[in-house]
Structure 1
Amino acid sequence: MHDIEPHFQWRDRYRAEDDSASPFYGRQYSEFDYSNKVYNYLLHPQWDDFGSETLYLKILFVDYDDRYAIIELIGEWNDALHNDSMHLKREVIDYLVGEGIKDFILIMEGVLNFHSDADDYYEEWYSEVTDAGGWIAMLNVLDHVADELSDARLDNYIHYGDLLNGLTWRPQKARRVHEAIEGLLQTERRRVY
């Protein structure tokens, strides 16, 4: 895992460490100091620690005008032991919601497992963004992780599944990724109603 870097194609347009509204503003990164790890596996130092013992992230892009954020995650999402949803909500999401972000795109390809507990933080997050006309979407969730999310009934709060899996997001511009997901979710809403 130490050689898996966060997506870097948009770094010429956005860097969380240079964004004064970001929870990672001013953070310094080393290319050589491997201190973050998931269990016994070291992570590339570009991943950001936000208080979880097994889950790390990188804010890849934020557009304050169009009010969306794209966040890539890696590791194990463990609410049962580490209350990862609380750390994510309080240490990252609350900052972004406070800056007007209403649409959240979570890149889940690197999330290897999900262990649920209570859904309080998901419900709170969902209420905040839907009151503003927004949504939370998870892209490219591994099948077994999707099953674990569904077992926890998180589909009540977060969009994920076949509709959002298999999206080729990496070569796209951030705006195109947001537009594509917005379009897919609108199509899905029309189909349901």
Structure 2
Amino acid sequence: MHTLEPYFNWRNLYIAAEDPLSPFFEYQNSEVHFTDSIYNFLIHPQWDSMESETLFLKVIYADYQHGFAVIELMGEWNDLLNNDIMTLKRNIIELMIGEGINKYILICENVLNFHGDLEADDYYDEWQDELEDGWIVMLNLRDHVLSEMSRFGIDRYLVMGGKLDDMSWRTRHPKQLFEIIDAVVMRRLGG
């Protein structure tokens, strides 16, 4: 797990630690010291902590003019034990909503497992309600994670599956990725 690092080819376009509107403004990652772990497995030091024991992230792009952010996730999404949706919502998303972000692209190819909780859907519902005309997309979910999230009804709040599970995003500019995903979401929502 220590070799999985956040996508870095957009750093010439955006760095969350240098963005005064970002929840990670002035956040400092070690370049050499491995300080975080998931279940005693060290993770790459460039991942940012959202105060979860098992789920880390990196805001790899934010565009306040168009109201969207691309967030890469890594680890185990555990609502059952850690209430990760509450932690993500309270510690990161609410701050971003306050700055005008209402569309979220969550890169999930490094989300290795999902453990749901039937009581945790309040936070998914709350997040969706606060977005007005926005949306939350989960991109490139692993099959077993998609299946488990669907089993818990998370797909009622987040757009996932289909073309979104095999999207080549690294070769695109973030605004181009946003336009493609926005078109997919609008088709699904009948807009």
User: Do these two structures clear the TM 0.5 threshold for a shared fold by scoring above it?
Assistant: yes
Cα displacement string for residues 127-170 of structure 1 (whole angstroms, at most 9, x for unaligned residues): 011x2x11000000000000110011011100001131110000
Q: 1:4 is matched with which residue?
A: 4
Matched, 1:123 2:107: no
Q: 2:13 is matched with which residue?
A: 13
- Return the offset for 1:83: 0.9
Structure 2 SS opposite 1:76: strand
Matched, 1:63 2:73: no
Structure 2 CA distance, aligned partners of 1:188 and 1:24?
32
Matched, 1:30 2:30: yes
Q: 2:183 is matched with which residue?
A: 183
- AA of the residue aligned to 1:121: Y
- Return the offset for 1:23: 1.0
TM-score scaled to structure 1, two decimals? 0.96
- Return the offset for 1:186: 1.5
Structure 1 CA distance, aligned partners of 2:53 and 2:139?
23
Q: 1:114 is matched with which residue?
A: 114
Stretch of structure 1 that moved more, 26-35 or 42-51 = 26-35
TM-score scaled to structure 2, two decimals? 0.97
- AA of the residue aligned to 2:21: A
Structure 2 CA distance, aligned partners of 1:124 and 1:83?
14
Structure 1 SS opposite 2:188: helix
Matched, 1:82 2:89: no
Q: Mapping of 1:157-172 within 5 angstroms?
A: 157-172=157-172
- AA of the residue aligned to 2:125: E
Q: 1:54 is matched with which residue?
A: 54
What CA RMSD, in Å, does the superposition of the two structures yield over aligned residues? 1.0
Structure 1 SS opposite 2:48: coil
How many pairs are equivalent?
Answer: 189
Q: 1:42 is matched with which residue?
A: 42
Structure 2 CA distance, aligned partners of 1:182 and 1:146?
20
Structure 1 CA distance, aligned partners of 2:4 and 2:52?
19
